[in-house]
Amino acid sequence: MHLASVRECGHELAAVIHPVRGVALVRDLIPGFTGDLLELLATDSLGKLESFAESADTAVFRDRDSVTFGAPYRHPRMLWGIGLNYVEHASDLSEGVPDEPASFIKGDHTIIGPGENITIPHQSVRTTAEAELGLVIGSYCRDVEPEDALSYVAGVVTLLDQTAEDILEKNPRFLTRSKNFPGFFSFGPEIVPLAEVADDSGSLAAVEVSTVINGEVHRSNVVGNMRYSPEYLVSFHSKVMPLYPGDIISTGTPGAVHIRAGDVAECRIPGVGVLSNPVVDQEAASVQGAPQEGSGVSE
């Protein structure tokens, strides 16, 4: 069973996707629930959802093609990004893979969901989009070892991490600025349990991640070719600071692609999903108008 958010009447509502029955709002499965998926991840309600979904009345379910998905949630406590984690991507940038994970933090103001605009900022003439596998933390995680790390992960998600690459090239200390413009972190449409994408040994090594531009695959690679595995990344960062339910680790890209207004950028991961976002420039975004305060939905 997958987790998602459904857009209705200007709001994003927590939902589940049952493999047979379809899409149901969490509030129709758990009486009195009014929160988002982030709240669900932080409580013990998640463990009850599957049984509720199996026993619920058929009337609460709808076909997934009849709904519009938004970002799974908008305000995680922490967004970790990992740079240069694929050896081939590092060579594209004439960089070496660092001896330890090269990580950075993004603010939740960067978050957009499926179908929302990636906006190229005025300050950048070369912005890139980077398809990545996202790890969604499911339970409090501190000082764990790699062999135990994935047990703290609720699931995986497709995401697009954007970079103002020309700003970053001016000075590597400009990493935070180059990564934190609005719209520079898209994720969704659904969070998929690890068990559905891992192999029989529990490894994610065979999972393939593709950066796609205008329908054409720009670069693909498998998780097994990462310098630092998903389990190592969770372990490493849990030894820096606590990880909490809903925190996301974006594990690195097989390749970044230069995006321009009019393009459509995608992340494709078989078994996890397809995330697609159109690209606009800042002038076009201003004409379209900003989203309503608190709605979580772009107009």
Q: How confident is the model at residue 298, as a pLDDT?
A: 44
Taking 60 as the threshold, does the pLDDT of residue 294 lie above it? Answer: no
Read off the pLDDT band of 106 (50, 70, 90).
Answer: very high
Residue 88 has phi, psi (to 5 degrees) of -65, -40
Q: How confident is the model at residue 93, as a pLDDT?
A: 47
What sign does the CA torsion over 277, 86, 147, 77 have?
Answer: negative
- In terms of domains, do 38 and 180 share one? no
Last residue within a domain, chosen from 66, 90, 122: 66
* Tokens at 89, concatenated: 């991507």
* 192 domain-assigned: yes
For residue 283, what are the β-bridge partners? none
Read off the pLDDT band of 287 (50, 70, 90).
Answer: low
Q: How many CB atoms lie within 10 A of CB 147?
A: 10
* 74 domain-assigned: no
- In terms of domains, do 170 and 147 share one? yes
37, containing H or E segment: helix 37-41
For residue 155, what are the β-bridge partners? 136
Residues 237 and 80: beta-carbon distance below 8 Å: yes
* 293 domain-assigned: no
Q: How confident is the model at residue 283, as a pLDDT?
A: 79
- In terms of domains, do 226 and 187 share one? yes
Taking 90 as the threshold, does the pLDDT of residue 129 lie above it? Answer: yes
Residues 158 and 266: beta-carbon distance below 8 Å: no
- In terms of domains, do 243 and 151 share one? yes
Taking 80 as the threshold, does the pLDDT of residue 97 lie above it? Answer: no
Cα distance between residue 187 and residue 160, in whole Å: 6
Rg of the chain taking only CA atoms, in angstroms: 18
- In terms of domains, do 206 and 95 share one? yes
Q: How confident is the model at residue 13, as a pLDDT?
A: 96
Residue 263 has phi, psi (to 5 degrees) of -75, 165
- In terms of domains, do 42 and 114 share one? no
Last residue within a domain, chosen from 12, 34, 66: 66
Cα distance between residue 276 and residue 268, in whole Å: 9
Last residue within a domain, chosen from 19, 42, 66: 66
Residues 152 and 234: beta-carbon distance below 8 Å: yes
- In terms of domains, do 17 and 163 share one? no
Q: How confident is the model at residue 96, as a pLDDT?
A: 58
- In terms of domains, do 133 and 112 share one? yes
User: Residue range 142-157: average pLDDT?
Assistant: 97
Instruction: Give pLDDT tens digits for 44-60.
Output: 777 788 889 999 999 99
Read off the pLDDT band of 289 (50, 70, 90).
Answer: low
Share above pLDDT 90 across residues of the chain, in percent, rounded to a whole number: 81
Read off the pLDDT band of 90 (50, 70, 90).
Answer: very low
Query: 3-class secondary structure for 256-279?
Result: EEEECCCCEEEEEECCCEEEEEEE
* 208 domain-assigned: yes
- In terms of domains, do 196 and 49 share one? no
> For the chain, what is the mean pLDDT?
91
| Structural domain containing residue 207 | 79-288
User: Residue range 255-281: average pLDDT?
Assistant: 97
* Tokens at 6, concatenated: 């459904």
Q: How confident is the model at residue 99, as a pLDDT?
A: 83
* 42 domain-assigned: yes
* 71 domain-assigned: no
Q: How confident is the model at residue 191, as a pLDDT?
A: 98
- In terms of domains, do 51 and 101 share one? no
Rounded to the nearest 5 degrees, what angle is found at the Cα of 107, between the Cα atoms of 103 and 108?
A: 125
Among the residue ranges 27-31, 88-92, 177-181, the one predicted with the least confidence is: 88-92
Taking 50 as the threshold, does the pLDDT of residue 292 lie above it? Answer: no
* 104 domain-assigned: yes
- In terms of domains, do 185 and 273 share one? yes
* 298 domain-assigned: no
* Tokens at 230, concatenated: 């998903």
- In terms of domains, do 85 and 155 share one? yes
Q: How confident is the model at residue 57, as a pLDDT?
A: 94
CATH number at residue 143: 3.90.850.10
Total domain count, the chain: 2
Instruction: Give pLDDT tens digits for 223-259.
Output: 999 999 999 999 999 999 999 999 999 999 999 999 9
* Tokens at 133, concatenated: 């596998």
Residues 41 and 26: beta-carbon distance below 8 Å: no
Beta-strand ranges (E) seen in the chain are 2-8, 11-18, 22-25, 79-83, 102-106, 111-112, 118-120, 127-137, 153-164, 185-187, 190-191, 208-213, 216-222, 248-250, 256-259, 264-269, 273-281
Q: How confident is the model at residue 47, as a pLDDT?
A: 77
Taking 50 as the threshold, does the pLDDT of residue 61 lie above it? Answer: yes
